[in-house]
Amino acid sequence: MFPKTKSFPSAKEFKAIEYLKFVASDDSFDKEDLKLLKRGAFILKEKFSYKFDLSFDEKEKILRSFEKSDIGAKWLERVLNYTLEALFSDPIYHGNENEIGWKSFRFTPGIPRPKICFGKKYV
């Protein structure tokens, strides 16, 4: 869903998976979302025969047909949401590596930037 383009990074480059693994392990992550993310991925693999080595067009076709189901639409929306979080959150959350998301979209973060994740206090 997020391939590398001329101007923008791929999900692999901005570390979307690393981000998701990191935030999903925190208490603050929505537990219903976590269930949905796992279940949707399972259905996509088992029932829609999604494989990583398919061609771009084949994958697009499968995702668009998955989108037509209720769970597919919900799952894709959540995946997009967390991928966009990975792209634009502070790199301390393990995504947006080297600020690649901010730089490629010419976004300037607010100051002060977080030194600790999840709003914890500096002790």
Residues that bind other proteins (CB under 8 A): 1-3, 5, 7-8, 23, 27-31, 67, 73, 76-77, 80-81, 84-85, 87-90, 93, 102, 105-115, 117-119, 121-122
Task: Return the number of the residue (1 or 45) whose C-beta is nearest other proteins.
Answer: 1
- Residue closer to other proteins, measured from CB, 7 or 55: 7
The CA-atom distances, in angstroms, between 94 and each of 6, 86, 106, 120 are 24, 8, 20, 16
Q: Shortest approach of other proteins to residue 121 CB, angstroms? A: 5
- In whole angstroms, how close is the CB of 8 to other proteins at the nearest point? 5
